[in-house]
Amino acid sequence: MNDAINDLSALRIERAPLPPPTRPWVKWVVALLVLGALGAGLWTWLNRERPIDVDVAAVTTRAAGTQASVLNASGYVTARRRATVSSKVTGKIIEVNVEEGMAVREGQVLARLDDVTVRASLRLMEAQLEAAKRGVAESEVRLAEAERTRQRRERLRADGLVTEADVDQSRADVESFTARIAAAREQIIVAERQVALQQTELDNMTIRAPFAGVAITKDAQPGEMVSPVSAGGGFTRTGICTIVDMKSLEIEVDVNESYINRVTPGQPVTAVLDAYPDWQIPASVITTVPAADRQKATVLVRIGFAALDPRILPDMGVKVTFLREAQDADATAAASPVTLVPKSAIRAGDGTSHVFVVKQNTVERRAIQVGGTDGDRIEVTAGLSAGERVVLSPPEALAEGTLITVK
């Protein structure tokens, strides 16, 4: 019996002890901690400091000895010598020798038209001229023969061998051939002029540059028809290319007639191209066009550059500042450069003025001392240096160290 009990005990399977029961509130504590951490991170991200979009402008200087401005205006660069080159006759283009941006010299061949018909007409005219010359030679031979006949009959008349009628007939023949030669020579002159005219027509088949300059457009291609006047709807070109004399560039601006009294011939001007806002170009007033535009109430003013530059191109937008002339200044111009800042960048209050200077992606509030005005700018006597950037029309929320994004 004991042996059977022992055998049954040997068949028992040993099991691992069961783990102690866990506490359910621990899981809830861990979940709450994770959710709290996520909520704190989301709150921090939503309430982070966001950068403010601002407009900025560079601090500029007025050169020593330069007067303050009296008027600002805007206009465009124009060329006094500008031509769209076309042909004198209607024809088919067979060759175009110009491309945009190409420099051309006066008289250079720009294009050629089909001249087969014109050349054939010229050869016909030359043949007619040669025939007229040969006709004159024949008439001169006949005239010499008639003259000899007249002389011979006059001698025979003295001997009574011919009648007076025969002598008169000889004289008539001489006069007839003389008149015929004169008419033939006139025909030669006409034929020569016809040849010259046809040669001119042939020359018109070659289109040349009227002056030296730069081609800014190419308006036709080989195979197209070209005409000096608009014809054939949209299938006929009226020009080959447009040439601009870069030495004739100047500025044209419209000045309100209320302020035209501030502009005088020879007045110094500072021009700034829209493409190069940091480049101040010296210029001067050429003339004021003596006519006003009644619709816009403006007067056109022509301004010439002191020196031309390859960066100056036709039809560029430009802003000009008319400067006060020395004899009209209230005081002598400053002996040193004057720092200038746009009026909209200055914030005033409590008797002080300050601006916000851009420092990478933040701003610095800086107090400044201001002087007189120069058009839409203010003279700054202390606190700023040329080249620094300031915020234009600073928002109310802008303060020291605020993050910004330049528009």
Domain span at 90: 83-114+205-244
CATH code where residue 363 lies:
2.40.420.20
Mutual angle of helices 116-158 and 164-203, in 10-degree steps = 160
Which pLDDT belongs to residue 99?
Answer: 92
Final residue of a domain: which of 326, 350, 376?
326
144 within a domain of the structure (yes/no): yes
Which pLDDT belongs to residue 287?
Answer: 92
35-38 own/partner pairs: CB under 8 Å, 24+ apart: none
Burial class (CB in 10 A: 0-12, 13-18, 19+), 379: middle
Final residue of a domain: which of 271, 296, 326?
326
- Residue bearing tokens 């008539």: 172
Contact call for residues 257 and 246 (beta carbons, < 8 A) = no
Question: Are 393 and 369 members of one domain?
Answer: yes
Alpha carbons 107 and 85: distance in angstroms, whole number: 12
Neighbours of 77 (CB within 10 A): 19
46 within a domain of the structure (yes/no): no
Question: Are 238 and 376 members of one domain?
Answer: no
Which pLDDT belongs to residue 349?
Answer: 75
Alpha carbons 88 and 91: distance in angstroms, whole number: 9
Question: Are 368 and 396 members of one domain?
Answer: yes
Question: Are 228 and 93 members of one domain?
Answer: yes
Question: Are 361 and 311 members of one domain?
Answer: no
7 within a domain of the structure (yes/no): no
Which pLDDT belongs to residue 67?
Answer: 66
Question: Are 221 and 267 members of one domain?
Answer: no
Question: Are 269 and 368 members of one domain?
Answer: no
Q: What are the residues whose beta carbons fall under 8 Å from the beta carbon of 44, sequence distance 6 or more?
A: none
Which pLDDT belongs to residue 330?
Answer: 44
The number of residues in the chain equals 407
Number of domains in the chain: 4
Question: Are 189 and 224 members of one domain?
Answer: no
Question: Are 314 and 268 members of one domain?
Answer: yes
Alpha carbons 366 and 268: distance in angstroms, whole number: 34
Alpha carbons 97 and 293: distance in angstroms, whole number: 41
Question: Are 101 and 218 members of one domain?
Answer: yes
34 within a domain of the structure (yes/no): no
Burial 106-134 (b: 16+ CB within 10 A, else e): eeeebbbbebeebeebbeebbebbeebee
302 within a domain of the structure (yes/no): yes
Mean pLDDT by 10 residues, the chain (407 residues): 56 58 64 74 60 81 68 91 90 91 92 91 89 80 79 76 76 79 83 90 92 91 85 72 92 92 90 89 92 91 93 93 64 65 81 83 84 75 84 82 79
pTM (2 d.p.): 0.57
40 within a domain of the structure (yes/no): no
Among candidate residues 333, 278, 323, the one with its CA nearest the CA of residue 303: 323
8 within a domain of the structure (yes/no): no
300 within a domain of the structure (yes/no): yes
Question: Are 181 and 214 members of one domain?
Answer: no
Question: Are 106 and 211 members of one domain?
Answer: yes
CATH code where residue 302 lies:
2.40.30.170
Where would I find the beta strands (DSSP E) of 159-316? Answer: 206-208, 213-218, 225-226, 236-237, 241-244, 249-256, 268-273, 280-293, 298-305
Final residue of a domain: which of 134, 168, 198?
198
Which pLDDT belongs to residue 169?
Answer: 79
Q: What are the residues whose beta carbons fall under 8 Å from the beta carbon of 205, sequence distance 6 or more?
A: 87, 89, 91, 112, 113, 114, 115, 118
Among candidate residues 343, 298, 387, 329, the one with its CA nearest the CA of residue 66: 329
